[in-house]
Amino acid sequence: MADGRDEVRQKSRTSNKYAAKKQATERIAAQRAAHQRAERRRNILIAGASTLAVLIVVGVIVGIGLSQKKKTSADSTPVPASDTVTSALSDAATSTLASTPDLSAVGNPPSLISGGAALTSPGGLPQVLYVGAEYCPNCAATRWPLALALARFGTFSDLSTMYSSEDNLPTLSFHGSSYTSQYLDFDGKEQVDGENKPLETLTAAESQLFETLGIGPGGSSPGYPFIDFGGKWRQNGTVFDPTVISGMTPESVAKAMTDSDSKVGKSIKASADVYTAIICELDGGKPANVCTAPGVTTAETAINGAGK
Amino acid sequence: MRAPRWAAPVALALTAAGLGVAIYLTIAHFDEHVSLVCSAKGAINCEKVTTSAQSHVFGIPVAVLGLAYFVFMIPWQLPVAWRSAHPFVRFGRALYCASGIVFVFYLVYAEAVLIKAICLWCTAVHVITLLLFVVTGFATALAQPHDAADGDEDPPDDLDELSQPNGGLHA
């Protein structure tokens, strides 16, 4: 009998112990579930906040872009080149001929066009075709040595100065300008303006050259700037590093052209000497004072070595 | 780990879409006979963007970087990866998506501030990258450990042995 009561008490104690354990387990499970719910809420909050932060950052970047577009649109409007620019250009055309160019500054020299037909003007002069855009920073850099080289063979009038709407680089614009030379013809086309709106239309022949030869190495479509030197040589993209003229004004770049010690002067002179050497090849080495100048002969030797 | 059922299929679909656009951009970059179907005038100008100085990063075409990004995204988004509770997989996937977003910041900056033109195909890739980031972020946040999902809390060590006496009491 006593044994029976002991057994019942034992079972009762075990049952109470089990109930307590079960209760504790349920409490732990409830706490764990609550903890997991809280963690999920926190994670969802983090995910939502991250998404919001990403959208805000993108919005801020786009906002900066839109505000800068409005701010720089005035600077990217071409204005007639100042006397400082035009006189510096004509001075540099002769003063820079004597010195030897630092051709290492020419990062992307022109390349030979294999089997290309000669590009000439209706009057039979060798023609230089330039296709660019006023927004384009690579064009901004390349116009300076091109203008300098051309100024050695002829005279520009009604040149404009401006800043490329992209990267805000000081430059010239060939739109609205004219060029006269007894040695060659220059056809400078700015296809679009600083806001990427159509500016000058290419003729069918120009367009065909641009579409076929305007694609640089590794490129998939024609790019700015494109220069065709008489159907013999072509320039795809910038000739020297455009960042060299970053932060300058058209006037300070023009002045720097005559300073062969400056990085800007070296880059523009070396590139201009290369262009000059090519034009000398096209027009039969005229005028002699230009085509036999040390800078030009050095560049000629270099490009012919590279071209062959 | 039990991720939401939609996580893997949605993320994989987005990855496939991103991969498709990235392949198209890469082909257009290298094959001169393929040009992007896109406006070349005004603010939307794919050509201006894809031929800009910013179209290469560390000398590598951005199109190729995008292609590589989506190729390496595939293993992170497979169902088996979403089932994994390993922290490397959970946080690695989230970090990988976040790295894509950081690069998108740079590319949006390049388009909006430096180039001042928008490439629609590039924007499509940016949107897909953003959606992948959002999907991955929320799916990771909503994922539950298997025990919580199944409701099988770890029993106390002696629970099994206690069940017998309890059963015996009522028998």
Query: Which amino acid type is present at position A217?
Result: P
Rank A147-151, A162-166, B57-61 by mean pLDDT and report only the highest.
Answer: A147-151
Q: How far is CA A224 from CA A98, A230, B62, in A?
A: 31, 18, 19
Q: Does the pLDDT at position B166 exceed 70?
A: no
Which pLDDT belongs to residue A69? 62
Q: Does the pLDDT at position A36 exceed 60?
A: yes
Which pLDDT belongs to residue B46? 82
Asked if A47's CB is within 8 angstroms of B137's CB, the reply is yes
pTM (2 d.p.): 0.56
Q: How far is CA A30 from CA A26, A38, B143, in A?
A: 6, 12, 19
Rounded CA-CA distance A50/A193 in Å is 39
Query: Chain B within 8 Å of A224 (Cβ-Cβ)?
Result: yes
Asked if A11's CB is within 8 angstroms of B169's CB, the reply is yes
CB-CB neighbors (< 8 A) of A29 in chain B: 153
Higher-confidence residue of B23 and B146: namely B23
Query: Chain B within 8 Å of A50 (Cβ-Cβ)?
Result: yes
Q: Does the pLDDT at position B150 exceed 60?
A: no
Neighbouring C-alpha atoms within 13 Å toward the C-beta of A204:
0
Which pLDDT belongs to residue A75? 67
Q: Per DSSP, which regions of chain A are E strands? A: 79-80, 111-112, 127-133, 154-157, 160-163, 170-173, 178-181, 185-192, 226-229, 233-236
Degrees to nearest 5, angle at CA B113 with A257 and A199 = 65
Nearby residues of A76 by Cβ (< 8 Å), 6 or more positions away:
A134, A135, A162, A163, A164, A165, A193, A194, A195
Mean pLDDT, all residues of chain B: 82
Give the domain B7-170 fold. Answer: de novo design (two linked rop proteins) (1.20.1440)
Number of H helices, E strands in chain A: 8, 10
Rounded CA-CA distance A242/A244 in Å is 5
Tokens coding A2: 């006593």
Rounded CA-CA distance B19/B67 in Å is 6
> Torsion angle, CA of B48/B50/B56/B60, rounded to 10 degrees?
-160
* Per-residue pLDDT tens over the stretch B101-111: 999 999 999 98
Asked if B155's CB is within 8 angstroms of A47's CB, the reply is no
- Domain residue limits, chain B: 7-170
